[in-house]
Structure 1
């Protein structure tokens, strides 16, 4: 196994942890989620984890100076997006029928949990396009698998904790946002 593949697998697993936690929350919020939706949601998270480091790589090769000014705001953006979705999930947890997480909320979750992967593009900037593309693809596939597991686990517990799962999912999203924010400051 090449060192590039091993690095991509390890980095992919590390980057996927935020998305895994959000997947748990989504599974808790929607305990009767069909399998096709689970595949779609985990695929969406995988897509964002694939595209963000690739976008970072492109930024380094095209517009590096502009992106450097944006980097200090990454923890703030993640915090705001995840707290906003978490509060919305908590607010809706009191309703009798929990709505499924909307596509726009899923996209925001995908961006919020993968925005830190944008900076990975800087670390792979020495790679050629033919190395960067499969590297990012491995990160996306690893994220997809890990998030599918997160949805399944959350769904299992969501069935058992149906009354409080929306509240738990919302609190979890807020905690993830705070964790990303604090980690980004130090």
Structure 2
């Protein structure tokens, strides 16, 4: 069961990893504290949402799964579109804003990347596993992938700042479109 939980943790951390790469693309100067904040935001929410899903179990899952893809799509399309728009702008303040790590910038990203983890938590309610160990594994795994993604994005951003910011925004939009199409049954992965 531990290997299965680790595989689930890696799977649910991939959206946060991709978003962290996109975030890293926009950072002019990456500090260790920024990587820690990113890891805590994404890891914390990826641990919290399965826990909430586990306790809510099937009572609320039909309501959340009915709209989770629209929420994810809307948040990621908005954030990604804003990144693309800012890449074409010449205002230095706009570029700086996308690299912020305060709650106003990190909360929507963390929530958007964690909504699917709620459904994972619902499925955990029907499995024989320790929920506390599972959410810790998910949180730590996501935190590590998120911090690594930030550094990977930063490495690419040093050389190709503007194209990388556009690519990061497009990736966020595409992740949102993919989630939407999967949930609408138009795409199977």
Q: Establish whether TM, by shorter chain, passes 0.5.
A: yes
Aligned residue number for residue 143 of structure 1: 142
1:51-62 equivalences under 5 Å are 51-60=48-57
> What's the RMSD between the two structures over aligned residues?
1.7
Give 1:109-148 correspondences, 5 Å limit. 109-126=109-126, 131-148=130-147
Q: Does 1:108 align with 2:108?
A: yes
Matched, 1:89 2:86: no
Give 1:1-186 correspondences, 5 Å limit. 3=1, 5-60=2-57, 64-93=58-87, 94-97=89-92, 98-99=95-96, 100-101=99-100, 102-126=102-126, 131-186=130-185
Residue 76 of structure 1 aligns to a residue in which SS?
helix
Q: Report deviation, 1:103.
A: 2.6
How many residues are paired up? 179
Q: TM-score, normalised by structure 2?
A: 0.88
Offset, 1:135: 0.6
Alpha-carbon distance, 1:127 to partner: 5.3
Unaligned runs of 5+ in 1: none
Q: Deviations over 1:122-160 (max 9, x none)?
A: 2110357x8101111101101111111111110000001
Q: Which runs of 5+ in 2 are unaligned?
A: none
- Deviation of residue 87 (structure 1)? 1.2
